[in-house]
Amino acid sequence: MKHIPKIDKFFLSLNLFLISIHILFLALLIKTLYPIHFMEENLFFFDLLSKPLHIPYWLIIICTNINILSLSFIGKLIWGSREWVILPALYVLNPWTPYLASLNSFYIYLASLILIMILGFIFIKSTNHWIGAVISIFAGVLLLYSSLIIFIIFPLMVIGIIILRLFSKNEIKKLSFWIILFCVPLFMAIFKNSVGWENIYRNEVTILSEEGFLNDVNKFQGQAQKRGFRLLSKVAENRYVYFAKYASLKIIKNLTPATYFTPQEKLASFSFSPPIFLGFILPFLFGLYSLLKSTQSAKFLGLSLILIIPSLLSKQIVDLNRLVIFSPIIFYAISYGLINLYRSKKFSFRIILFLTIILVFIQMFVTISDIYLRETIRFDKTSGINFEIK
Amino acid sequence: MIKLQVILLLLAITIIGAVLRFTNLTNNPPSLNIDEVAYGYSAYSILKTGKDENGKFMPIAFRSIGDYKSPVLIYSLVPSIALFGLNEFGVRFTTVLAGVLSIPLIFLLINILTHNFKISLVGAAFLSTSPWHIYYSRFASDHMMGTFFLMLGFIFFHKLLAGFKVWLPAAIFLAASMYSYHSHRLFIPLFIGSVLIFNHRIIRPPNIKAFLAIFIVLILPLIFLTLFGPLNTRAQMVFLSQDIDYTRYVILDHIEKSGENSLLFFFWAKRYLNYFQPDFLFFNGLNMTSPGTLGLGVLHLFEFPLLVLGIIHLIQKKSNFKKLIILWILIGLVPASVTNNEQSAGRSLLILPALVVVISLGTIYFFKIVKNLSNIFLKTAVLGLLTLLTFISLVHAFLVFSVYFPNERGEAFMEGTKETVLYALENKDKYREIVFDPYRGIEAQNIVNIPYMYVLFYSQYDPVKFQTEQKENQGEIFKFDKFVFRRIDWRQDRLKRGILFVGSPWSLPLQDIREEEILKKIYLTNGNLALLVVSPHPD
């Protein structure tokens, strides 16, 4: 990881190929699912100024293709040789991101900025300081201007970087200075429009306004007190314990393989397509296990958990739309697993790799035909005639 | 040689387990459910006549209420009913006894795997307080019987793999487990097969050959019934392809035939991985509270970090039982995942002993890590946090078992049916006919009650008479003696004299019945009106 990778013919042609496949998949999805779409989300800064502005559909399509290029760069920086192609290929092949992009998901745009920022960080870690710094600052500022949730988690990310010592203090100071400087208009808008801030916060962060669990607590306490267990119910069934349990459930569920590799949580609230094909589950577990063995990778994985916070703050237990910003981390673990399986000479690993490929191809075929034959009807059955998904 | 201290500790743990399982046994769960009365009456019928209520001599599959029940629990209930009578205690005693005996059994199981008394005692303590195990011990359940014999069979099977000539008890207990519950019928052959394949280098063939020969002979009748008999029909009925979520949501009621089998496979994978979801494991797997609330999972929440550490320990350390435990858990979930339920704690109960092994390993590993912490503050904080979590989890479990469960799930155990039946039996001579409506429910009339089984059970109806007397069975109407089981149509039935009607307020609408016509109102523990006993006085 010393220099910016060379953009050779192979790199270009493979990316072109991946983008073509991605566009074909998107075309199939758009043709089948149109006019189903996610509700448009306004950019944070413009919402504060009461001049709603949202990301247009064409920009989301561009962003999803930028993501392929970013992942290719990141893959090339990490692995160097031809193995880099696995990372963007996972983005292209799995239904998660094409699905959300075709439905006009705002979080695809955020994922783009996050990937560009990660790319910048990797550049900083290599010798090319200035390019990395420019890219990181540009993406970071745009992220902060775009989403309140990112605005909330951004300080956590900085604190995490400082604690885990992923960068030198000097580098963090420089980056923070420029980002804060460029964000001055945003801070001013927040101070000027505190009511607007509160409204946006209430819309975006729904976990704290969850009334359901307060009802449950009252119901449990009432029943226990009737039977003479007043003290015990106060200890074990108070709102703080219940909220802590609810939060734990959300966190664990956002990190369970079934969430990512099966249609347990429905994509866009109606689909039977899994976010990631089931066949990738073994390489993922293998990759995760290998990554956790290295302290540096474990630190990076720990820090990346911040990206599940938007999903945790959602009303749903798992929000696959918001969780898409965490998808590159899952793809990275899968790539790592696949590469290690491929490099290993063990017979059992070869068998796993073979089974993965077979299963993925079968599921890909099944999923595409299912999308074509059933997804629209499935949407009609679950959501009725309203084509806007909230 | 086991030390006296270890024996005393194990005895104390077993006594605690027994107290948790026997306390208030007849009233919590609040009533006998349909399966329990069916098991009880079948056993009573076997005790009195040697035949089941349908007149079949010593069956291997009991037709019962049409679901072809497994024989082990019913036959094991016979001595209990002979001793305690046909009542709640008599029906629940055998299962609870198996539950209590499982505690020393898990000690033995862990000890033969780890040769470590500490880990074995920790395992016994976990099983003793396991909400999953306590719940299924407290009512007549074939899941518990199957798991009890599975543990017993596993102990001998492991000895067999180690070279001991215990092929006979190993074969008998594993076969008994297969005769106990449907899940075990699929699990045990798959498990034995996989263990033999993965351990083929260390296994001594003569022992295994003798074991396999006896085992196959013992399960031959079961294989025959499963392939060609009524168990085949049951298997088809509960198979995953009949799942309502699959038919309605995935294949959209066969709207397009192509690709359905492939979708079924991926639907199965989803169901399989669902058993690793936190809501099932730690928050709501036992369904003991209303849907949507954070009730009780199959494991305590404080066991989560211990389970994770146990998995890490199992993967990292070299041990000869690693493969056995992993296979037990992975294969153990296959039977439950191929049936038509989102997550079934009963069908997956058979993996509990393996999970207890992992959690016990994790606990020892946890204390090892804490012991090695040099920072006193961190050490105290970690221990304090786990203690607090344990305390809160145990208090919550106590409240769920003693308060919320009887309050919120009484209907699932047909609470109130006993009272209506006893009333009807007391007043039987005053009426020429007694009509029971089999449908009930508070939110909607969506629960089928099968009240005739309750009549047979609580009247201790003579099995010889029931087997031989003329019974009318036309579609939705079933009739014997003075009892009729059919839907009540109050518009018509209100005009009939000399008939006692028993039904929910859905079929006996309060606003259409005069106060003097209502003879009894039955309420659930939570205060909801569940059933009415009515005799019309037409003008």
Domain ranges of chain B: 4-238+275-408, 414-534
Q: B263–A366: do the CB atoms touch at under 8 Å?
A: yes
Predicted confidence (pLDDT) per residue in A105-125, tens digit: 999 999 999 999 999 988 887
| Residue B250 DSSP symbol | I
Strands B477-480 and B433-436: unpaired
Backbone φ and ψ of B435, nearest 5°: -105, 125
**pLDDT computed for residue B174 by the predictor:** 97
In the predicted model, is pLDDT for residue A34 greater than 70?
A: yes
Over range B339-350, report the average pLDDT.
Answer: 91
**pLDDT computed for residue B254 by the predictor:** 81
In the predicted model, is pLDDT for residue B539 greater than 70?
A: no
**pLDDT computed for residue A207 by the predictor:** 66
Any idea which of A19-33, A280-294, B150-164, B437-451 has the lowest mean pLDDT?
B437-451
Query: Chain B residues with CB inside 8 Å of A312's CB?
Result: none
What's the gap in Å between the CA of A95 and the closest CA on chain B?
Answer: 15
Q: Return the bridge partners of B521, or none.
A: B532
**pLDDT computed for residue B258 by the predictor:** 78
In the predicted model, is pLDDT for residue B319 greater than 90?
A: no
Mean pLDDT rounded to a whole number for chain A: 89
In the predicted model, is pLDDT for residue B405 greater than 90?
A: yes
Predicted confidence (pLDDT) per residue in B493-522, tens digit: 999 889 999 999 999 999 999 998 999 999
- The single-letter code of the amino acid at A30 is I
Q: How far apart are CA B98 and CA B147, in angstroms?
A: 9
Indicate the residue of B279, B315, B407 with minimum beta-carbon distance to A249.
Answer: B279
User: Which residues 453-512 of B have a C-beta within 8 angstroms of A?
Assistant: none
The model's confidence at residue A5, banded by pLDDT at 50, 70 and 90, is: low
Q: B28, B246, B267, B270: best mutation site toward chain A, by most A Cβ within 10 Å?
A: B270
Over range B115-140, report the average pLDDT.
Answer: 97
Q: Return the bridge partners of B518, or none.
A: B534
State which H helix or E strand residue A145 sits in. Answer: helix A129-146
**pLDDT computed for residue B467 by the predictor:** 93
Over range A330-353, report the average pLDDT.
Answer: 92
Provide the residue ranges of all domains of chain A, joining segments of one domain with +.
Answer: 9-204+255-389
In the predicted model, is pLDDT for residue A215 greater than 90?
A: no
**pLDDT computed for residue A1 by the predictor:** 47
**pLDDT computed for residue A384 by the predictor:** 67
In the predicted model, is pLDDT for residue A250 greater than 60?
A: yes
The model's confidence at residue B317, banded by pLDDT at 50, 70 and 90, is: confident
Taking a C-beta distance cutoff of 8 angstroms, is the pair B175, B380 a contact?
Answer: no
Q: A315, A370, A372, A376: best mutation site toward chain B, by most B Cβ within 10 Å?
A: A370
* Cα separation values, B17 from A140, B168, B404, Å: 57, 30, 21
Taking a C-beta distance cutoff of 8 angstroms, is the pair A117, A135 a contact?
Answer: yes
- Tokens at A14, concatenated: 């493979």
Any idea which of A54-58, A193-197, B390-394 has the lowest mean pLDDT?
A193-197
**pLDDT computed for residue A210 by the predictor:** 61
Nearest alpha carbon to residue B32 among B417, B439, B485, B436: B417
**pLDDT computed for residue A3 by the predictor:** 59
**pLDDT computed for residue A195 by the predictor:** 85
The model's confidence at residue B233, banded by pLDDT at 50, 70 and 90, is: confident
The model's confidence at residue B395, banded by pLDDT at 50, 70 and 90, is: very high
Those residues whose C-beta lies under 8 Å from the C-beta of residue A235, and which sit 6 or more positions away, are: B391, B392, B395
Nearest alpha carbon to residue B341 among B412, B410, B408, B242: B242
Over range A45-74, report the average pLDDT.
Answer: 92
The model's confidence at residue B450, banded by pLDDT at 50, 70 and 90, is: confident
Any idea which of A64-68, A347-351, A382-386, B298-302 has the lowest mean pLDDT?
A382-386
**pLDDT computed for residue A208 by the predictor:** 56
Over range B320-338, report the average pLDDT.
Answer: 94
What's the gap in Å between the CA of A71 and the closest CA on chain B?
Answer: 28
The model's confidence at residue A174, banded by pLDDT at 50, 70 and 90, is: confident
What distance lies between CA B506 and its chain's CA centroid?
Answer: 30
Nearest alpha carbon to residue A88 among A39, A19, A1: A19
The radius of gyration computed from the CA coordinates of chain A, to the nearest angstrom, equals 22
Strands B477-480 and B483-485: antiparallel
| Residue A39 DSSP symbol | P
Task: Kindly tell me the burial class for residue A225, based on how many C-beta atoms sit within 10 Å of its own C-beta (0-12, 13-18, 19 or more).
Answer: middle
Q: A278–B282: do the CB atoms touch at under 8 Å?
A: no
Predicted confidence (pLDDT) per residue in B88-120, tens digit: 999 999 999 999 999 999 999 999 999 999 999
Indicate the residue of A216, A274, A377 with minimum beta-carbon distance to B255.
Answer: A377
Q: How far apart are CA A17 and CA A21, in angstroms?
A: 6
The model's confidence at residue A51, banded by pLDDT at 50, 70 and 90, is: confident
Over range A362-385, report the average pLDDT.
Answer: 88
**pLDDT computed for residue B65 by the predictor:** 86
| Residue A103 DSSP symbol | T
In the predicted model, is pLDDT for residue A2 greater than 70?
A: no
Reduce the DSSP state of residue A275 to 3 states and report it: coil
Mean pLDDT rounded to a whole number for chain B: 93
**pLDDT computed for residue A233 by the predictor:** 92
Q: A363–B392: do the CB atoms touch at under 8 Å?
A: no
**pLDDT computed for residue A83 by the predictor:** 87
The model's confidence at residue B265, banded by pLDDT at 50, 70 and 90, is: very high
Taking a C-beta distance cutoff of 8 angstroms, is the pair B329, B354 a contact?
Answer: yes
Nearest CA in chain B to A379: B249
Over range B125-135, report the average pLDDT.
Answer: 98
